[in-house]
Structure 1
Amino acid sequence: MKYMKYLQSYFAKLFPPYYKYPVLVFLFFEFVYSAFVLAISEAYYKSAALILPIAYRIFDDTVKKNKPGFDWSPEEKYILEVYKVQMLFLWVISAIGVILCIFVMIPQFFDFNDKRGNPSHLCLVRKKLAWVMFFIVAVYILVLGIAVFWAWTDGGAAAKHFHTHFDGAEKEEIFITELEEAFDCTSDDDQEVAEVTMCWEKVNKTFISHTWLDILFFVYISGHILVFLSLPCFNRQIFKEDDDFINSVDSKLLDAEDQIKIGKH
């Protein structure tokens, strides 16, 4: 029976209304994860936006030269364009998430009163508003999950696809110069076509790898599950306020005085 009551209490604390502590714990994780995704997606989108226009011209030029074994079609270009959209989608959604986390987190540092004017330790006194904020955050998490899953399903195929074509293409000096200007890098002037240069190092890191996609996906799944299931542990008044302590002491003293008076009578 006690076990059932514990489970009921546990599941009841999974959802609003919340004390400020579970909200801060959850939003801290969400903020860190969203900021991490934001940094990665922004960097890879900008790199792709720089390299792909140049790479397309390199691939088209190689096709014109009829290099044996080199194929380049609109369908293959579409794969790389989808990758760029995936990174842009992650960038925009994670940026919204960072702003949302800050917006929801700020009220947790203020004290609220309930309808009777009594101090409340709940992060949002009005239950309807608490549920509205809950669903807003839940929708963001769902959309972010869709963006992460969409990028993860690619499995790094876009990176392999790009490097296969880039390594097999014939790179004229004019294209190498464009790469140097785009990435602000230098190459070995003694070689007509530099195979190992600073630019090549940056080109190799242009597309997100399968490893990073796995990390983003599994941290999203495991992190959200663990943090959400831990909410009941924080959904209470962890730190007792001084005023509450004083009031509780005063009430105990008053009760003791009443008992003494009753004993005398």
Structure 2
Amino acid sequence: MGSVAGIEPINRQLPPIESVQAVLFDVDGTLADSDPLHYVAFRDMLSEMGYNDGIPITEDFFSAFISGKHNSEIGVFLFPDWDQQRRDQWLDDKEALFRRLAAEHLEPVAGLLRLTEWVKKKGFRRAAVTNAPRSNAVQMIASVGLTDFFEHLVIGSECERAKPFPDPYLKALEHFGVSAENAFAFEDSPAGLGAAVAAGLPVVGITTGNPGPTLVAAGAAFLIKDYDDAALWSKLEKEAVTSSL
């Protein structure tokens, strides 16, 4: 399975559980509500350097132009007149600040360990698929206690194209030798959701950092607020739906 552009989105329903072979997870905002820490890091460093005349960026600005995007794209957007080396150094410094904040404040999304135990019990293959730098992703996964859970880690910058292109998800599926018809993903951002949908995957949207309608518009099969959400377990355990999807 290669890095193929233009794959048609499939039906937005999750596959029958008995046909599932793999479950794929985004990291930032999906395993832990990390966006607030990224926002603080960007806000403080941009203010310190006098960006936008020193007026701090808003959460709406962060959600619209930064959240879920790859650092190379963010760097060009924020600093169009800088050379790439200068952008890369600034973003490296920002990620170092984020890791310091994460070490103190990062917590798993509610119900995450309940879900991951269910996934392990079912024997599904499992990968983390993220645009985060590898050092960030490894730390976040460790911080939520899932170092031994994931069998594979796909980093967007290590693929031909990062999210919002489907390449990272296609690479995860190829690694396991699993078809998109026999897998599904969890995502929290429109860019990540678009990448998974373009790879042919049905996606559960988690509303940790982005509004539900935005995730539905990006292709979410349905929405959950966290991993204890009854809407999720009614699907996974094939129980009668008791909450509005």
- Would the TM-score normalized by the shorter structure come out above 0.5? no
Taking structure 1 as the reference length, the TM-score comes to 0.26
Larger strand percent: 2
Q: Specify which structure has the bigger relative contact order, considering alpha-carbon pairs within 8 angstroms and separated by 6 or more residues.
A: 1
Which structure would you say has the larger Rg? 1
Larger helix percent: 1
